[in-house]
Amino acid sequence: MAQQFDVVVIGAGPGGYVAAIRAAQLGLKTAVIEKWRSGDGKPVFGGTCLNVGCIPSKALLDSSHRFHEAAHGLAVHGIGAREVTIDVPAMLKRKRRIVDQLTGGIAGLFKANGVTALAGSGRLLAGRRVEFSAHDGTVETIDAANVILATGSAPIEIPAAPFGGPIVDSAGALEFDAVPRRLGVVGAGVIGLELGSVWARIGAEVVVIEALPDFLLAVDRQVSKDALKILRAQGLDIRLNARVTATEVGEGGVGVTYVEGEEEKRAEFDRLIVAVGRRPVTAGLLAPDCGVNLEERGFVHVNEHCATDMPGVYAIGDIVRGPMLAHKAMEEGVMVAERIAGRKTQLNYDGIPAIIYTHPEIAWVGPGEQQLKAAGQEFKAGVFPFAASGRALAANDAVGIVKLLTDAADDRVLGCHIVGPGAADLVQQVVIAMEFGASAEDIALTVFGHPTLSEAVHEAALAALGHAIHIPNRKPR
């Protein structure tokens, strides 16, 4: 007889593994199918995020930041450090150790929660049955009362720069065994800026080729302009309105032809990272009669609760609409597991923060000024520069701004966009405020420790109200 489960999850990335653990916690008999395996054939959990995404990229961002600080940021403190060197293989080894620790941890969590982990590929058939093809070649059909699809995403390839040799995707860019002398990056998005920064900090000359004339379109214009200035000053040569038209792989690297504005240009690189976005992974996942429909660009069609068109089948994370972020995938996993268990959990899609882990970080939640204007929303903006923050100055990190946006009618916080030190953690404070329906006045009346970077959020709220203390107000109120 076919194995039977209350919940079968296909894919054990942040969406799938969190969904499986939460479902098991709620007493549901749960299995998770994952096809990723290590060189020695063992199943590997954690998906893109843990293996080739969030975690390894942050490990390299941290290592490269420390190198850069030691080489260039200590003299101002009166600290002398001679001969700062970087051992790239050691840096990669540390990254791999962290990845192994975390992916192994997921296997432990599955065991502790009673989740059945199945190593192989899953495919959804009609009637909520799941075909499981194990790595050893055996195929079985599993009966599932509920199915959660969580198969994630993969890098987009462009015809002008097909992957191979010196042309790599984000996973390849986490594995360079030496610092490229000249590194090209196609796409000034999250991956391009994070991985471009990693290699630039440890000595690569980095040119970033971005198709759009605007930098970081989702970010408030004032903040993105500031971020562009800061990153260019760090040496990232960011070319906007530039499109790669051809590449030529040769012995020493890759020649890239691109059109910047109207002008055709050529550049030679040792390596080229192509980071122009990701696409949902659904190929071969759905039997034609399984009842689940796809949208235009291959995303699985779901409602606001991640239910597909087939009752009892859900889809979460990078294969559905919304930002491709690990925390969004995880919270969708929790929402779906809880709804299967009969709870009425919802996800507030307006309160999902986004962070780019450059230094300084760029972080935001909610709309920026240009989106509010386009929506016809009356708003107030409060801006506070880190140049006026005692803590940022003490840390020699006083660049960037906090911009808080509030509803002109009732003072409710609508969004916050930050470039500056600690932006990732600062924006989280505003996310909490927004979850509680806070106004700028609520933040203004909250006591913030001194001297902290958080005071920049406090002052931005005061600025929105017209009475910031540590900067002049346009019209004090």
Active site residue 450: yes
**Is position 219 an interface residue for ligand NAD (rule: CB under 6 A)?**
no
Q: Which residue has the tokens 């920026």?
A: 368
Spatial separation of the C-alpha atoms in residues 43 and 322, rounded to whole Å:
28
Beta carbons within 10 angstroms of residue 77's beta carbon: 10
- Binding test (CB under 6 A) with ligand FAD, winner from 9, 24, 30, 34: 34
The one catalytic residue in 72, 77, 450, 467 is 450
Asked if 13 interacts with ligand FAD (CB under 6 A), we say yes
19 and 9 Cβ atoms separated by less than 8 Å = yes
User: What size, in residues, is the chain?
Assistant: 477
In the list ligand FAD, ligand NAD, none, the entry touching 329 (Cβ below 5 to 8 angstroms by class) is ligand FAD
Report the run of H or E that residue 374 belongs to, with start and end. Answer: helix 369-374
In b/e form, how buried is each residue of 152-180, taking b as 16+ CB within 10 angstroms? Answer: bbebeebeebeeeebbbbbebbbebeebb
- Residue placing its CB nearer to ligand NAD in the complex, 16 or 120: 16
48 binds ligand FAD (CB under 6 A): yes
Residues binding ligand FAD: what is the number (CB under 6 A)? Answer: 34
CA pair distance 103, 115, nearest whole angstrom: 15
CB atoms within 10 A of CB 410: 8
CB of 155 to ligand NAD, least distance (A): 7
Among 324, 392, 440, 444, binds ligand FAD (CB under 6 A): 324
> Which residues within the stretch 173-192 sit at the binding site for ligand NAD (CB under 6 A)?
186-192
x/- letters, 347..386, toward ligand FAD (CB under 6 A): ----------------------------------------
Planar angle of CA 304, 305, 307, nearest 5 degrees: 105
Categorise residue 471: left if φ over 0, alpha if ψ from -120 to 50, beta otherwise.
Answer: beta
Q: Restricting to residues 344-363, which ones interact with ligand NAD according to CB under 6 A?
A: 355-357
Q: Which residues bind ligand NAD (CB under 6 A)?
A: 158, 186-192, 194, 209-212, 243-244, 275-278, 323-325, 355-357
Which residues have a catalytic role annotated?
450
Q: Which residues bind ligand FAD (CB under 6 A)?
A: 10-16, 33-36, 47-49, 53-54, 57, 121-122, 150-153, 170, 191, 281, 285, 317-318, 324-327, 329
